[in-house]
Amino acid sequence: MEDKSKQVALITGAYKGIGLETAKQLGQQGITVVVTARDQTKVDGAIAKLQAEGINAHGLVLDVSDAAHYGDAVQFLEKQFGKLDILVNNAGVMLDTEWGGNTTSTTTPELLRKTFDTNFFGVVALTQALLPLIRKSEAGRIVNVSSILGSLTAHSDPESPIYSNKTFAYDASKTALNAFTVHLAHELKDTKIKVNSAHPGWVKTDLGTSAAPMEIPEGATTEVDLATLGQDGVNGSYVHLGRTLPW
């Protein structure tokens, strides 16, 4: 890959938690980071934290479920940098209210649509909008932040630690996201762009809760590793801390 000081990364949902930590770790490697959030106050707060660490950080207001924002992102990146080297699709929501059970039969179409708008449809549309800029990179990297909860293999295995946890809307959206990873990676297999799904792990965040065993810096590791893969790195894979997961 090219000199990291010349690389530009955009991380969605990067005003806190794993997204912000991913931006921090990429920035510490000399990569220019563009962080996004749904409102300007959150964007400004993230930029301030990163710049206090000496990181070259920029920000954008971007709601991944709102197609009206995509053009602004494209124009900003085109004008400021002329390309995009790394896209980390980190933004996501879990709107299911039950945890530790299975309420699939009562999950409403509205909940499914709202979850998929952010976790799947928004990711696909934003990536498609930014792909022409990623093609201008010497070695583009696309990281789709998934979850082990998107693994149909793990959900089907009675011995799996997630077997009893069936948050249908969230899980299905991450399974669909994994399908996007596989399909886009195949389309781009003859280019220098690599596309992979990352499972950060069970991390102490608003989504993961304080009971999670992993701290935020470790949770960002998989995203950062996939964002900075070398030429011989994996493509079309589903990864957690360097280990390939079952689809």
Catalytic residues: 170
CA separation for the pair 110, 130 (Å, rounded) = 28
Pairing of strands 32-37, 8-11: parallel
CA separation for the pair 124, 8 (Å, rounded) = 20
Q: Which amino acid is at 183?
A: H
Angle at 171 (CA atoms; ends 165, 173), nearest 5 degrees: 170
Say if residue 240 is exposed, middle or buried (CB neighbours under 10 Å; 0-12, 13-18, 19+). middle
CA separation for the pair 65, 141 (Å, rounded) = 22
CA separation for the pair 217, 25 (Å, rounded) = 8
What are the CA-CA distances from residue 128 to residues 60, 122, 144, 171, 172 (Å)?
A: 18, 10, 13, 23, 21
Q: How many C-beta neighbours within 10 Å does residue 110 have?
A: 10
Quote the tokens at residue 133: 């800029």
